[in-house]
Structure 1
Amino acid sequence: MYWCIGKIDALFLARMEDILGLYVLPYDPLYPVVCFDERPCFLIGDTVAPIPTQEGKVAKQHYAYKKNGSCCLLGAIEPLKGHRFTKVYPQRTKKEYAEFMQELVKLYPQAIKIRLVQDNLNTHNFSSFYETLPADEAYELAQRFEIHYTPKSASWLNMIEIEFSALSKQCLNRRIPTQDKLESEIEAIVKERNDKQIKIKWQFTIK
């Protein structure tokens, strides 16, 4: 496996060590550590019906396909608790980010601050709240979060990428023609993984 980590400067080191220090903290329900990111999903349909699957044989499909547009998967995971939360949207704008965070805080009514690990995408900041919600609601929502940004070109520091990799192997690497179908498949996988409370054992430390 190879990672492109770009230029390692003082800001890179500061953010990296901040996140690595965060990951070794003991579980605290009042300050849960939650990793968030998003990824595009392309909706692909078959133009020729695939050959029906036969027992003991590899499934086959025609090389031709139809592009049905795209959508965006937003996801978050609490690694120490083994709980993940996902939503699929037709697009990714500040509105979708704000809506996702509104839903996320509902999962942590007891939390004083949600320690949120995320990247520096232009929609991933509190301005999304203020452009989408009334100022008082935006302020209240922002107060629920403590943001920890990953360094530039260091997505490997965000544990949600591990969860996205698992989702990719189970369904995102296949042809899925519609957003509704994608949502139902992701929902089923996420439920199964939540029921099993699959956690992430992080190996990297500051040392």
Structure 2
Amino acid sequence: MWCIPPKQNAAFVCAMERVLEVYKRPFDPDYPVVCMDETSVQCVREGRPRVPGKPGQIERYDVEYERNGVAHLIQFYAPFRGWRRIEVADNHAAPQWAEGVRALVEKDFPDARRITLVMDNLSTHTGASLYKAFEPQVARALLDKLEFVYTPSARLSPFEGLYKGREITTYEESSSTKKRFFRWADYLPTSCRL
């Protein structure tokens, strides 16, 4: 994918140069670079059962499906470590983003001195969202371990384009908690309609 900057757009160039400088930093486990992005995908349920494959014949499924809601995916990934975490949320709300950032700092990289978080400048991607979700001392402690770097355009995110045009075929819901669960295998090409 190409993202052509608007002509004479100093803001775009400034933000892009900042992102490129971050990506040129030498690897340091104390200062990980983590990219973050969000996208929504339509969930579908098969209309008819699949016909399993046999030797010499591929699995078959019908084009008919039932709409099964929308899942909001939040992905954190460290491109220089080969690490990622994907969460499923109900919406783009600030508290859900804040919980993901808290897990990043406290569980995923608890020993990091500072985490550089590269993301688009969606209105929820700010320190204020941490203050909305947590007590001030928790929000401040999280911010002390974070450096926010904003991309000049959401179109530069690899995650945005990854699932566009694909529909998820399975969508599990626990009857006891009504919490949605995500299985990475559901996003592989064999489980997605292209």
TM-score range, shorter chain: 0.7 to 0.9
Instruction: Supply the distance in 2 between the matched residues of 1:113 and 1:99 (Cα, whole angstroms).
Output: 18
Q: Does 1:65 align with 2:59?
A: no
Unaligned stretches of 5+ in structure 1? 190-207
Contact 2:42 2:167 (C-alpha < 8 Å) held by counterparts: no
Write out per-residue CA displacement over residues 89-122 of structure 1, whole angstroms, 9 at most, x where no aligned residue: 2222101000000100122122221001000111
Which runs of structure 1 show a deviation greater than 4 angstroms over 4 or more consecutive aligned residues? none
1:193-204 aligned within 5 A: none
Q: Secondary structure at the match of 1:139?
A: helix
Gap regions ≥5 residues in structure 2? 175-179, 188-194
Distance 2:120 2:185 in 1: 24
1:93-112 mapped onto 2 (5 Å cutoff): 93-106=93-106, 107-112=108-113
Deviation of the 1:148 alpha carbon:
0.6
- Find the counterpart in structure 2 of residue 43 from structure 1: 43
User: CA deviation digits over 1:26-75, x for unaligned, max 9?
Assistant: 11122111111011122100122222322332332222211111121111
Contact 1:71 1:88 in 2 (8 A): yes
Matched length: 179
Secondary structure class of the residue paired with 1:104: helix
Tell whether 2:75 aligns with 1:81. Answer: no
Distance across 1 between alignment mates of 2:13 and 2:137: 35
Provide Cα deviations, 1:4-27, integer angstroms capped at 9, x if missing partner.
Answer: 445251111111111111111111
Question: Quick one: which of 169, 172, 188 aligns to 1:175?
Answer: 169
Structure with more of its chain in strand, by fraction? 2
Aligned alpha-carbon RMSD (Å): 2.6
Give the match's secondary structure for 2:71: strand
CA distance in structure 2 between the aligned counterparts of 1:24 and 1:64, rounded to whole angstroms: 47
- Alpha carbons of structure 1 residues 54 and 18: separation in structure 2 relative to 1, 3 Å: same
Contact in 2 for aligned 1:42/1:70 (Cα 8 Å): yes
Letter in 2 for 1:46: E
Which is richer in helix?
1
- Normalised by the length of structure 2, the TM-score is 0.80
Structure 2: distance between partners of 1:174 and 1:55: 26
Higher relative contact order (CA 8 A, sep 6+): 1
Deviations 1:170-189 (A, max 9, x none): xx655123357x84521899
The percentage of aligned residue pairs carrying the same residue is 29
